Amino acid sequence: MKPNKLTYLYIVLLLNIITIHSQTFEIFKTEIGTLKIQPILHGSMVLTFQDKTIYVDPYGDSKLYNNIKAPDIILITDIHGDHLDLETLDSINTSKAIFITPQAVADKLPEKYKSQINILNNGQGIHRLDFYIKAVPMYNLPVDPPSKKHPKGRGNGYLLNIDNLQIYISGDTEDIPEMRMLENIDIAFVCMNLPYTMTVEQAASAVLEFKPKVVYPYHYRGTNGLSDVKQFKKLVNEKNKNIEVRLANWYPKH
Q: What is the pLDDT of residue 144?
A: 84
For the chain, the domains span: 25-245
Q: Which residues have a Cβ under 8 Å from the Cβ of 143 and sit 6 or more positions away?
A: 152
The answer to whether the CB of 179 falls within 8 A of the CB of 214 is no
Q: Phi and psi for 5 in degrees, rounded to 5?
A: -60, -40
Least confident of 21-30, 36-45, 78-87, 230-239: 21-30
Strands 225-226 and 221-222 turn out to be antiparallel
End-to-end CA distance of the chain: 40
How far is the C-alpha of 64 from the C-alpha of 62, rounded, in Å? 5
pTM of the model: 0.89
How far is the C-alpha of 103 from the C-alpha of 83, rounded, in Å? 14
185-225 pLDDT, tens digit per residue, is 999 999 999 999 999 999 999 999 999 999 999 999 999 89
Q: What is the pLDDT of residue 254?
A: 54
Least confident of 16-20, 27-31, 116-120, 137-141: 16-20
Q: What percent of the chain has pLDDT over 70?
A: 91
Least confident of 15-29, 58-72, 118-132, 174-188: 15-29
From the list 220, 224, 223, 222, the residue with the least C-alpha distance to 233 is: 220
Which option is the CATH number for 25-245: 3.30.1280.10, 3.60.15.10, 1.10.10.10, 3.40.630.30? 3.60.15.10
Is the pLDDT higher at 25 or at 251? Answer: 251
